[in-house]
Amino acid sequence: MERIALFDLDGTLIDSAPDIHSALDRMMARLGRPGFSRPEVWAMIGDGVSVLVQRACGARGLEASPEVIAEFLTDYEAHAAEETRPFEGIPEVLAALRATGWRLAVCTNKPERAARIVLDDLGLSPLLDAVGGGDSFPVRKPHPGHPLGLLAWMGGEASRAVLVGDHHNDTRAAKAAGIAPVFAAWGYGAPEMAEGAPVVAGPAELPALLAGLARG
């Protein structure tokens, strides 16, 4: 059976913080509150849109109503790829992995529609076999049902898969699912979020590490 590499999106494949930051600041301007610093935004990313907006609103003494969340998402989707870019080397790494027989998919807590908008705009979609968003399954990372649901879509097995991400949601979901975890140190997560997973300092290191995991 083919090996499958699942990738987190924000902070792993793409540097999306600039557009998320801008959308949060626009939301705060509509609500009459000041915006955020980039480190504040980094710390809010990783648990999906609802939690992102809840954290942002909570930091400014506001309630994240369903209407506020929906308005944020609509605005974000309209500007999702203005400043967002793949991390350096990511397109080449994905192409190299495909060339050596890996099947690739995105496993993200970002809503699937928003994820696909960004992936399409950045030209990454043709390199992927599947996209599993935070609303694609009844659960999302760190629940193991998220990556396992995506593997089921793809006809894959946990024992033949890896999950690469920059957040403890990724490492915890992988471990709970019986999937090999890999921590992306170039992303938004603090180093301790690796929680014992193999750490890669940059995308260029991924092919060699994954080849070793495949042989193992």
Question: What are the catalytic residues?
Answer: 8
3-state helix vs strand vs coil in the chain, percent to 5: 50, 15, 35
- Token match 């998220």: residue? 146
183 pairs with which residues across the strands? 165, 199
Instruction: With beta carbons less than 8 A apart as the criterion, state whether 96 and 33 touch.
Output: no
Sequence-ordered list of residues with C-beta below 8 angstroms from that of 72, at least 6 positions apart, any chain: 23, 24, 27, 49, 53
Query: What 8-state DSSP symbol labels residue 164?
Result: E
Helix (H, G, I), strand (E, B) or coil at 143: coil
Distance CA 107, CA 144 (A): 11
Runs of H (alpha helix) within the chain: 17-30, 38-44, 49-59, 66-78, 90-99, 112-121, 145-154, 168-177, 206-215
